[in-house]
Structure 1
């Protein structure tokens, strides 16, 4: 089996749609083996162009500046694309299909790695969902700020956002069920990015006093740079590729790679374009939430924030679906239709419990940049870079060339060191913010 080539695909022919195979981790309450690569590719493009890109000018370009910012965007983006391309091949190992990352790592490396992967994934997805709730709340507050000099506290809008996410998640319970909403999401995405780029160009041309200097001590510059690298990772990957791939029709490996090509070509042009334009327009004064810098007119500011809120309702669902799948598979009657009476009651309670908890934590710790940096460092870097190379070493190590083995060992060691450095940077930022803010701060 050639994990980096075509040979992996031939084992897919024996997999039938809907097969329940507990040894391969295919018992699930959610839909698998049903979606086209175009649907998944569109989901990736729209989801990674969510409102989070409005924080990346500050989180990425401001700490790195023009030269290192562009270099890191290109290098980390390419490295991330390669890592996901590699991981897609391990959807099938030893004639088994793995629809969950934790099952794959557990099968190859044992129960300990199963639990480590579970913690890393769910920590990433939980923090990511809290970040989305903060994002939606921030967008609603910005709309209120356009009409009032004393807008309501951020926490009110966080609660509204959590309720909206809950309703969507209850109505559209699985990742595949997002199909009919992806066109709407794509339209909203294109609209808000076009208007945003229009205002950024106008503000950039009128702002002749832009300052691109990187402020702070040498130590803080180093730590902030590692935080920026974490944010670039967040901008490009999710840590749940096997879960996304599970929804694809055969050949799942080939189709997943087609979807990734769409994300890393069409998709990356938009979110990289916005973060570069944001930094060009405002320099080192760029805000952690880009609409706070916009000069108007008022209706454009309101429209952008409204679309960001609406689009985030769809986008956040991809990141939270693997957690909901785990809950649904454990607590729903998977032999009964998901919309049967008993399952609907359980579905409602599971979603209500999950989003109530996440909304409360997001309201208590409203530090958006911290969520981005921390999930990109401690958990997402190993999931993206380290674990795929570990899989290669274990599955193909005996037959691979020395050059390939050396390359993957380099990936493992490098990503381990990068995880340590970026996590220290993220914790340092969190400590600084804890000193500045209090619980339920109106950030």
Structure 2
């Protein structure tokens, strides 16, 4: 009996040693969710290996307020300047209805997406990016060769467009006080590109929270400037005649409707919802919804005020950007300091918008599609 007991004891000890060794060699990371009573496995053996892009968003320390900052910066941007122009293609009724409808649809979609992400996290497969979702839904090849290139194109467009818009704003500021200056547009674009490169050195998405808060404040301030400017010009003696009918032939009106809808839809677009949710500290229940409420509060306050006031002031003569309407044929319709302040605010907000997308998406896709090798920390200099 003693011999059998000692044999059983030795077998149990050996099994415990093997189990302990396996646990030490595994790379599983668990965090508890006290509200739901389960453990979330962030890196199980069946989960994809964490790459640079995943590690960039894996600093999960954010609150719902930080989530609101990230969401607002990823959605609200200088594209708001085109909203009055979209109304010229849709008219009062179509413009307001579609602006409301697009907001409701995107809010519902983003909230539903966050619930799906939370559900997968409960199942032990935390998804940091759309590519991770596509890997589970469509398969690894679709994720890499279909979803990956699409988001890469979005990233590439943002990285190119950000310095271009910033460079134009910087040149406009320069020409306000130096109309005969010799500096060219490409020089201002280079300056903005250097600033973008510096912002790309931030180590994680979570570290952008203060920049995104500033970006949120900036977009609110310049939206107030645009609204007040439109109301002022609309009541001034230099105000253009107001005509709100949709111009053009039947074909032009039809294509204009699609163009106006696409402009408004673009203003609500955000392609980084999973990355933003990945920055939230557990438990994440309800935090994404609160962040969306913060974001859409800013959207309602800015989008509707700029679109309605701009279209009211200039009617179907609204230009591609509302700032162009503040410049008359012979003189400025608003003081120089107004243009200076507004362009500075837009310039700074463009930097925040570019900083949200530049390092994260390039870390994911350049190093996934181009060179899958280990590189030092200063790789950010290449991606910017």
Task: Please classify the TM superposition score into its range, dividing by the shorter chain length.
Answer: 0.7 to 0.9
The answer to whether the 8 A contact 1:333-1:343 is kept is no
Using structure 2 for the length normalisation, give the TM-score. 0.78
2:82 corresponds to: 55
Using structure 1 for the length normalisation, give the TM-score. 0.68
1:298 lines up with 2:339 in the alignment: no
2:134 corresponds to: 105
Report the Cα offset of residue 46 of structure 1: 4.2
**In structure 2, distance between residues paired with 1:313 and 1:135:** 10
The answer to whether the 8 A contact 1:332-1:346 is kept is no
The answer to whether the 8 A contact 1:88-1:256 is kept is yes
Change (3 A) 1:35 1:125: same
User: Aligned to 2:271, what secondary structure does the other structure show?
Assistant: coil
1:399 corresponds to: none
**In structure 2, distance between residues paired with 1:201 and 1:195:** 10
User: Aligned to 2:282, what secondary structure does the other structure show?
Assistant: coil
Alignment of 1:9-24 (within 5 A): 13-15=38-40, 19-21=42-44, 23-24=46-47
1:195 lines up with 2:225 in the alignment: yes
**In structure 2, distance between residues paired with 1:26 and 1:52:** 36
The answer to whether the 8 A contact 1:29-1:329 is kept is no
Change (3 A) 1:125 1:345: closer
Change (3 A) 1:290 1:148: farther
Change (3 A) 1:328 1:129: closer
Report the Cα offset of residue 52 of structure 1: 2.1
2:30 corresponds to: none
Greater fraction helix: 1
**In structure 2, distance between residues paired with 1:321 and 1:13:** 33
The equivalent position to 1:166 in structure 2, one of 186, 197, 211, is 197
Alignment of 1:170-319 (within 5 A): 170=201, 172-206=202-236, 207=239, 209-294=241-326, 295-319=333-357
Change (3 A) 1:311 1:283: same
Deviations 1:234-281 (A, max 9, x none): 211212211111111123352112211221233332123212222222
**Structure 1 stretches lacking a partner, 5+ long:** 1-7, 335-341, 352-443
Deviations 1:283-318 (A, max 9, x none): 222222222222221011111001110121112222
Question: What's the C-alpha RMSD, in Å, of the aligned pairs?
Answer: 2.8
The answer to whether the 8 A contact 1:200-1:281 is kept is yes
**In structure 2, distance between residues paired with 1:328 and 1:245:** 22
Deviations 1:303-337 (A, max 9, x none): 10011101211122223343133158757999xxx
Report the Cα offset of residue 88 of structure 1: 1.0
The equivalent position to 2:378 in structure 1, one of 338, 341, 345, is 345
1:137 lines up with 2:167 in the alignment: yes
**In structure 1, distance between residues paired with 2:138 and 2:314:** 48
**In structure 2, distance between residues paired with 1:243 and 1:321:** 12
Change (3 A) 1:261 1:191: closer
User: Aligned to 2:88, what secondary structure does the other structure show?
Assistant: helix
Higher RCO (C-alpha 8 Å, min separation 6): 2
Deviations 1:401-434 (A, max 9, x none): xxxxxxxxxxxxxxxxxxxxxxxxxxxxxxxxxx
2:362 corresponds to: 324
Aligned residues: 333
User: Aligned to 1:213, what secondary structure does the other structure show?
Assistant: coil
Change (3 A) 1:103 1:302: same
The answer to whether the 8 A contact 2:148-2:365 is kept is no
Report the Cα offset of residue 197 of structure 1: 1.9
1:354 corresponds to: none
